[in-house]
Amino acid sequence: MYVLDTNVLIHDPNALLNFEEHDVIIPMTVLEELDSLKSGKQAVAADCRQAIRNIDKLLGDASPGEIEKGVPIVRAKKAEPLGALSILMSTEHQDNHGLPEHLNDNKIINTLAALQSRHKSRDIILVSKDINMRLKARGFGVEAQDYHNDMLLDDIDLLPKGYKEFPNSFWDTIEKVETVQREGITEHLLRREGDLAKLTINEFVIDEQGFVGKVSDVSDDRIIIRDLYQHDLMNEEVWGLVPRDIYQAIALNLLLDPDIHLVNLTGSAGSGKTILALAACIEMTVASKIYKRIIATRSTQGLDEDIGFLPGTEAEKMEPWLGAIVDNLEALHEDDENMTASVDYILSKVPLHFKSMNYIRGRSFQHSLIIIDESQNLTPHQIKTIITRAGNGSKVICLGNLAQIDTPYLSALSSGLTYMTERFKTFRHGGHIHLQGVPRSVLAEYAEANL
């Protein structure tokens, strides 16, 4: 029996369907918490409403007795039911061994302890994203686990970086190669074996001798690597910005590629995620005019609340949250004679729109560049909501630092950015680069090393 905490249903409203043949139990206290959080336009409220609808759909017209016993979970019309869903009534503890019931967490744990005493032959497991709730449950004798269904990795270090680095020369590891040149493009056809077997589409190959290649096609037994010239990559200027290392150079290559519709950039503070994305976006809207507009949004704790009713447009209310965008605009024009005038000119010429995440749901952006800043703070469900807003001819750029997660109950392994990077690693029109740290200043470099 798996008993779900409220935060699990908020994190993934479809969690009810992910326990296969096992029984799923929803405590009455969890339903009450969902009910209290369901109102409003916040992302949490929308997730609560979705979870409530899913529970109602699975229970259907079942009688109270059937709900208490367990309603078989039907996942498809012609599929056999698998597992059962039931609602667990709260039980008052008459003895002195229960936790004080002034907290909802304590009520749930007490109810599980009573359930455990009635079903001693079955394993009863609490599933919660709250680490303190799990600790309290274990201390009270109830087994507790994190929700692992959307954790595609056991260790964050296993997350693809978007490139494979080879010591010395990459060609020292290759026995046989067929090279083809056409229309100014050099491609190497290699057998997919050894380290090459792990490479995926749009992943890069880098060695210490200066070779840079990009995987352009993959089959079961063959891999095609397009030869990219390091000198050209390192000297490509994008809206006045020149890459400072090879990692920024290959990130720009993905950002500027019209065949790539999803780019994930991860890395520590100061690695250049935002300024690279912004320079590429301005280049593609103002210079080449491939896209019509830039949509910038961001997830923070404050943004989960309403943006307020005080005077001001949505853009004006969003601007403090998206200060990093404006800061990087200024950095791109710091050498101009009048930086302020240049930034104002860019903001007047570039169709750059600041959007609140709360009001993106239900929209459809055509021929747009969608920048999602701080995307490590999104759940897989939330990031899917935003990415599905991308209409015809649009490109999504997700920026984030997995070492700085501010959302409660979210870890690097369960972050939407991690989930999406792993799920999209074989997507022909997607790419991911983990940027290395490029110190912003001598002070920042010393602080990183000594604080």
- CA–CA separation, 4 and 125 (whole Å): 9
Residue 86, beta-bridge partner list: 25
- The predicted pLDDT at position 303 comes to 41
In whole angstroms, how far apart are CA 253 and each of 92, 138, 229? 62, 49, 12
Does an H or E element contain 227, and which? strand 222-229
- Residue 436 has φ and ψ, to the nearest 5°, of -85, 155
Coil/strand/helix, residue 124: coil
Mean pLDDT to the nearest integer, 337-364: 75
Closest to 399 (Cα-Cα) out of 370, 438, 441, 363 = 370
Res 22 pLDDT > 70: yes
pLDDT in tens, 134-174: 999 999 989 999 998 888 887 888 899 999 999 999 999 89
Mean pLDDT to the nearest integer, 92-114: 80
Mean pLDDT to the nearest integer, 72-80: 85
3-state helix, strand and coil shares in percent for the chain, rounded to the nearest 5: 35, 20, 40
Tally Cβ neighbours within 10 Å of residue 321. 21
Res 335 pLDDT > 80: no
Per the CATH hierarchy, to which homologous superfamily does domain 156-449 belong? Answer: P-loop containing nucleotide triphosphate hydrolases (3.40.50.300)
Q: Is 240 left (phi over 0), alpha (psi -120 to 50) or beta?
A: left
Q: Which two tokens stand for residue 377?
A: 């703070």
Taking all residues of the chain, what is their mean pLDDT, rounded to a whole number? Answer: 87
- The predicted pLDDT at position 95 comes to 54
Q: Lowest-confidence range among 175-179, 246-250, 350-354?
A: 350-354
Mean pLDDT to the nearest integer, 391-399: 94
Please report the DSSP string for 39-54 in residue order: SSSSHHHHHHHHHHHH
Q: Which two tokens stand for residue 41?
A: 């336009």
Q: Where does the pLDDT of residue 86 fall: very low under 50, low under 70, confident under 90, or very high at 90 and above?
A: very high
Q: Where does the pLDDT of residue 364 fall: very low under 50, low under 70, confident under 90, or very high at 90 and above?
A: confident
Res 440 pLDDT > 90: no
- The predicted pLDDT at position 321 comes to 58
- The predicted pLDDT at position 309 comes to 52
Closest to 199 (Cα-Cα) out of 432, 42, 446, 449 = 432
Q: Where does the pLDDT of residue 320 fall: very low under 50, low under 70, confident under 90, or very high at 90 and above?
A: low
- The predicted pLDDT at position 117 comes to 87
Q: Where does the pLDDT of residue 340 fall: very low under 50, low under 70, confident under 90, or very high at 90 and above?
A: confident
- CA–CA separation, 204 and 239 (whole Å): 24
Res 199 pLDDT > 90: yes
In this chain, the answer to whether the domains covering 2-146 and 156-449 adopt an identical fold is yes
Mean pLDDT to the nearest integer, 317-329: 66
- The predicted pLDDT at position 314 comes to 54
Mean pLDDT to the nearest integer, 162-190: 92
Q: What share of the chain has pLDDT > 90, as a percent?
A: 54
pLDDT in tens, 274-314: 899 999 999 999 888 999 999 888 765 444 445 555 556 65
Please, how many CA atoms are within 13 Å of residue 124, restricted to the half-sphere of its CB? 23
Contact partners, residue 47, CB within 8 Å, separation at least 6: 9, 10, 11, 13, 381, 382
Within 216-358, residue ranges assigned H as helices are 230-234, 246-256, 273-282, 314-318, 323-332, 339-349
Q: Are 88 and 3 in contact (CB under 8 A)?
A: yes
- CA–CA separation, 336 and 392 (whole Å): 36
Query: 27-30: which pairs have CB atoms within 8 A and are 24 or more residues apart?
Result: 27/3, 27/87, 27/88, 27/90, 27/107, 27/108, 27/111, 27/112, 28/87, 28/88, 28/89, 28/90, 29/90, 29/104, 29/107, 29/108, 29/111, 30/4, 30/5, 30/6, 30/108
Please report the DSSP string for 133-180 in residue order: HHHHHHHTT-EEE---TT---SSGGGS--SEEEESS-GGGG-S-EEEE
- CA–CA separation, 233 and 149 (whole Å): 39
| Parallel, antiparallel or unpaired: strands 204-207 and 211-218 | antiparallel
Q: What CATH topology corresponds to 2-146?
A: Rossmann fold (3.40.50)
Q: What share of the chain has pLDDT > 70, as a percent?
A: 92
Q: Where does the pLDDT of residue 398 fall: very low under 50, low under 70, confident under 90, or very high at 90 and above?
A: very high
- The predicted pLDDT at position 363 comes to 80
pLDDT in tens, 204-223: 999 999 999 999 999 999 99
Coil/strand/helix, residue 353: strand
- CA–CA separation, 188 and 177 (whole Å): 6
Residue spans of the domains in the chain: they are 2-146, 156-449
Res 323 pLDDT > 90: no
Please report the DSSP string for 230-257 in residue order: HHHHHT--BTTB--SSHHHHHHHHHHH-
